[in-house]
Chain A
Amino acid sequence: MEAYLDNSATTPPCPEAIAAMREALTTVWGNPSSLHWAGLNAERLLAQSRESLAELFGCEPAEVTFTSGGTESNNLAIFGAANALRRRGRRVVTSAVEHSSIAESVKELASRGFEVVYLSVDRGGRVSEQELMQAINAETILVSLMAVNNEVGSLQPVEVIRRVVQYHRAPALIHCDAVQAFGKLPMQPARLGVDLMTVSSHKIHGPKGAGALYVRRGVKLNPLVYGGSQENRLRPGTEGMPAIAGFSAAVRALPNPMAIMDYVSSLRDRLVAGAASMEGVKLNSPPDALPYLTNLSVPGLQSETMLNFLSERGICVSSGSACAKGKKSRVLRAMGLGDADIAGALRISLSRFTTWEEIDAFLYALNEARLTLARK
């Protein structure tokens, strides 16, 4: 049987998203900036899409900027904030376990003369509040921390950053990469105390090619590209309406995250219990990780070999971030795992559509892999 357990890489689009995209391609295909009726219809659709996101964020529609996806939102947040605040200070604080679109962006900032401080993580992949307290100083202009880690599912203490920044009287903007948390936890930027927040469409059963950046009212970012006045001049270019319409339809189709948490938790418990009963399988995710994400290792086996083995049996999982394309995980390294555990890591990621049968099919195949594949 087929089992798709790589939902942190991407999710299959839901029917609502597909219908909305079809409509945006067949009926409402105008340019939202045009003055005629075709443009007006598209502009209404765009406004409606923005409202859907604003409602979920508990913010004003004007605080939602549509982008091409998580990577662009993260780049816009990092470079937009650093360039806007470069005269107020040089320090940027982030963690050692961010997604590559943050890690590579701050690396570029470092080469442009910013001082980048990386927060270490514990065995559970979590940064400590004490270290956060020490890392942030009065010269800090940006703090970027993910809500949920994309490889192991650990939750980060995003909500404490605001107090730390205020304590140090830092001019810092606070950014949260909420790509993996969005739709799975209540993510309201005002409650979290963040100024900028990244979300992506295709991780919540929307289409690829759309994402958004929440930008708190009053926060000034420098754009990355220049052009027309779309998206409040922050992200010029004709809006990618089919993807945006699909994105917002997927947002409207989201159930209350807490209402489905029990179901996903029970799936995860079965997965973890099954894996734990197999000799030689090691759990890498902390017990309090988001139930959607589980990372485990079979030391002695290579991730790639297991992926091929599972794929032949119709089962899709990954070795870590899809964006790293098989490179050894720096997240697991930062968590202090050994080489064999890192080389044999698997990430199993669930969605609200995942079934018991899929979990069982995975466990069955994992056991087969463990028993039959040759070890190093």
Chain B
Amino acid sequence: MNEVLLIKSGELALKGQNRSGFEQQLIGTLRRRLRPLGEWQFILAQSTIQAIPLSAGMDMEEAARRAGRVFGISAYARAARVPKDIRAILEGCAEYLAPVLRYAQTFKVEAKRSDKTFPLKSPQICETAGGYLLERFPHLRVDVHRPEVTVMVEVREQFAFLHADQVKGAGGLPTGSAGDAAVLISGGIDSPAAAWMMARRGLRLTAVHFASPPYTSARAEEKVHKLLRQVAKYSGRVRLHVVGFTKIQEEIRQKCPEELFTLVMRRFMMRIAEQIARENNCHALITGEQLGQVASQTLQALVCTDAATGLPVFRPLIGMDKEDTVRLARQIGTYEISILPFEDCCTVFTPRHPRTRPKLHFVEQAEAALDADELIREALENTQSHWIE
């Protein structure tokens, strides 16, 4: 008996004329994620993708886990593929689903018949299979309302597919279907969660990280690599640009009023990220800012940071509470990495009393003391790029 993955695309069904493009993108992503496990064939039919292993001894457990992290998938299931013959279907159900059925008390059978030439109609399939399974597993009872196990029989063009309950997928839209955006990533809890949320809406990610050695350590940068590797399990590989930021911070500290340090710094980050974004074909910036979380994330402060860039800034966490973000970060597996104890933003330069209601023109005045273009040019020259997979 062959085992395959049945993958249901999600919101794609809504997207009218774009649908086939989305589906092709989804298959492309699946192909890349499953390829390391062996050879696969993909068949698309009725908004279901059949992923068929061609190599022997495929690790289907891991394959299912990987499929569960692909955006654009609403649900998936491991299924047995059997010939379109009622005998094969019945025996297939009993054999393939024995591990689940043996430990369940109630079940029901659901059938779907896209091949209308199959001699049995859907209700008949349910009836026959239900009866057969009751005979084989006499401890079971049928419960059509709240069964512990739903046995699905899907009769398609070439084969019939048998599986138990589907697993919910990661949802969202296929990676890249919404274009490219650059995320400003620190070592904290918020930015990886923000990156994940926007990747789920179909954005392909480029990441920008600001390092200030020796005020920040090599370990802090390694932490960013770790975080992005976790995000990349969902979003696909990410290009990371690490910007050498020390000089800019030292200049700001020397020449700007202390209460505006963080704000001026944020504006420089936005400008540099915008340049990197434009060079890499990205059309938006993503940050992990949450309204009011810290002084640089008050409404007035956000007005000032936004003014520094011409690109739209996506802040998916803006209306969330910290606890919501923590829950999300735990769910996607970045939380444990985020709380490692390394300085990510230099405490040396944190003002004692930051301005919480800054006025844009004061900030611009403060910045006039700096040769912004030259500093940014230097920082960009001082940028190193890596692929994170």
Chain A interfacial positions (CB closer than 8 Å to B): 302, 304-309, 311-312, 325-326, 373-376
* CB nearest to A327 among chain B residues: B341
1/0 per residue, CB under 8 A from A, across B249-268: the answer is 01001100000000000000
Chain A residues whose C-beta falls within 8 Å of the C-beta of B343 in the assembled complex: 304
A306 touches B214 (CB 8 A): yes
A312 touches B348 (CB 8 A): no
In the assembled complex, the Cα of A306 lies from the Cα of B216 at a distance in Å of 10
When the two chains form the complex, which single residue of B218, B250, B341, B347 contacts A311, counting CB atoms closer than 8 Å? B218
* CB nearest to B253 among chain A residues: A374
Given contacts A304-B217, A308-B217, A311-B218, contact A325 B341 (CB under 8 A): yes
When the two chains form the complex, which single residue of B213, B254, B341 contacts A308, counting CB atoms closer than 8 Å? B213
In the assembled complex, the Cα of A325 lies from the Cα of B346 at a distance in Å of 18
Q: Is B118 an interface residue (CB 8 A)?
A: no
**A–B pairs, 29, beta carbons within 8 Å:** A302-B215, A302-B347, A302-B348, A304-B217, A304-B343, A305-B214, A305-B348, A306-B214, A307-B214, A307-B217, A308-B213, A308-B215, A308-B216, A308-B218, A309-B213, A309-B214, A311-B217, A311-B218, A312-B213, A312-B214, A325-B341, A326-B341, A373-B214, A373-B215, A374-B250, A374-B253, A374-B348, A374-B349, A375-B348
Chain A residues whose C-beta falls within 8 Å of the C-beta of B348 in the assembled complex: 302, 305, 374-376
Q: How many residues of B contact A (CB 8 A)?
A: 15
Chain B residues whose C-beta falls within 8 Å of the C-beta of A326 in the assembled complex: 341
Among A307, A308, A312, A326, chain B packs the most CB atoms within 10 A around the CB of A308
In the assembled complex, the Cα of A241 lies from the Cα of B348 at a distance in Å of 47
In the assembled complex, the Cα of A375 lies from the Cα of B348 at a distance in Å of 7
In the assembled complex, the Cα of A305 lies from the Cα of B349 at a distance in Å of 12
* CB nearest to B216 among chain A residues: A308
Interchain nearest-CB distance for A366 vs B (Å): 13
Interchain nearest-CB distance for B220 vs A (Å): 9
Chain A residues whose C-beta falls within 8 Å of the C-beta of B341 in the assembled complex: 325-326
1/0 per residue, CB under 8 A from A, across B199-230: the answer is 00000000000000111111000000000000
In the assembled complex, the Cα of A376 lies from the Cα of B258 at a distance in Å of 11
Chain B interfacial positions (CB closer than 8 Å to A): 213-218, 250, 253-254, 341, 343, 346-349
Interchain nearest-CB distance for B224 vs A (Å): 15
Interchain nearest-CB distance for A339 vs B (Å): 13
In the assembled complex, the Cα of A308 lies from the Cα of B215 at a distance in Å of 7
Chain B residues whose C-beta falls within 8 Å of the C-beta of A308 in the assembled complex: 213-218
Chain B residues whose C-beta falls within 8 Å of the C-beta of A306 in the assembled complex: 214
* CB nearest to B215 among chain A residues: A305
In the assembled complex, the Cα of A304 lies from the Cα of B253 at a distance in Å of 19
In the assembled complex, the Cα of A376 lies from the Cα of B253 at a distance in Å of 10
* CB nearest to B250 among chain A residues: A374
* CB nearest to B349 among chain A residues: A374
Chain A residues whose C-beta falls within 8 Å of the C-beta of B214 in the assembled complex: 305-309, 311-312, 373
In the assembled complex, the Cα of A305 lies from the Cα of B218 at a distance in Å of 11
Chain B residues whose C-beta falls within 8 Å of the C-beta of A375 in the assembled complex: 348
Chain B residues whose C-beta falls within 8 Å of the C-beta of A325 in the assembled complex: 341
* CB nearest to A312 among chain B residues: B214
Chain A residues whose C-beta falls within 8 Å of the C-beta of B346 in the assembled complex: 305
Interchain nearest-CB distance for A357 vs B (Å): 22
In the assembled complex, the Cα of A374 lies from the Cα of B347 at a distance in Å of 11
Interchain nearest-CB distance for A309 vs B (Å): 4
Interchain nearest-CB distance for B64 vs A (Å): 38
In the assembled complex, the Cα of A74 lies from the Cα of B213 at a distance in Å of 38
Interchain nearest-CB distance for B239 vs A (Å): 25
* CB nearest to A313 among chain B residues: B214
* CB nearest to B213 among chain A residues: A308
Interchain nearest-CB distance for A308 vs B (Å): 3
* CB nearest to A373 among chain B residues: B214
Chain B residues whose C-beta falls within 8 Å of the C-beta of A312 in the assembled complex: 213-214
Interchain nearest-CB distance for A39 vs B (Å): 40
Chain B residues whose C-beta falls within 8 Å of the C-beta of A302 in the assembled complex: 215, 347-348
In the assembled complex, the Cα of A312 lies from the Cα of B218 at a distance in Å of 9
Chain B residues whose C-beta falls within 8 Å of the C-beta of A311 in the assembled complex: 214, 217-218
In the assembled complex, the Cα of A307 lies from the Cα of B349 at a distance in Å of 17
Chain B residues whose C-beta falls within 8 Å of the C-beta of A307 in the assembled complex: 214, 217
In the assembled complex, the Cα of A302 lies from the Cα of B254 at a distance in Å of 18
Among A306, A373, A374, chain B packs the most CB atoms within 10 A around the CB of A374
Interchain nearest-CB distance for B354 vs A (Å): 15
* CB nearest to A376 among chain B residues: B348
In the assembled complex, the Cα of A374 lies from the Cα of B254 at a distance in Å of 9
Chain A residues whose C-beta falls within 8 Å of the C-beta of B218 in the assembled complex: 308, 311
Chain B residues whose C-beta falls within 8 Å of the C-beta of A374 in the assembled complex: 215, 250, 253-254, 348-349
Among B213, B217, B343, B347, chain A packs the most CB atoms within 10 A around the CB of B217
Interchain nearest-CB distance for A198 vs B (Å): 27
In the assembled complex, the Cα of A262 lies from the Cα of B217 at a distance in Å of 36
Interchain nearest-CB distance for A65 vs B (Å): 34
Chain B residues whose C-beta falls within 8 Å of the C-beta of A309 in the assembled complex: 213-214
Chain A residues whose C-beta falls within 8 Å of the C-beta of B253 in the assembled complex: 374
In the assembled complex, the Cα of A376 lies from the Cα of B346 at a distance in Å of 11
- The 8 A-B pairs of least Cβ separation, nearest first, read A308-B214, A309-B214, A308-B217, A305-B215, A374-B250, A305-B214, A374-B253, A376-B348
Chain A residues whose C-beta falls within 8 Å of the C-beta of B250 in the assembled complex: 374
Chain A residues whose C-beta falls within 8 Å of the C-beta of B215 in the assembled complex: 302, 305, 308, 373-374
Beyond known contacts A307-B217, A373-B215: 9 more, CB 8 A cutoff? A304-B343, A305-B214, A306-B214, A309-B214, A312-B214, A373-B214, A374-B215, A374-B250, A374-B349
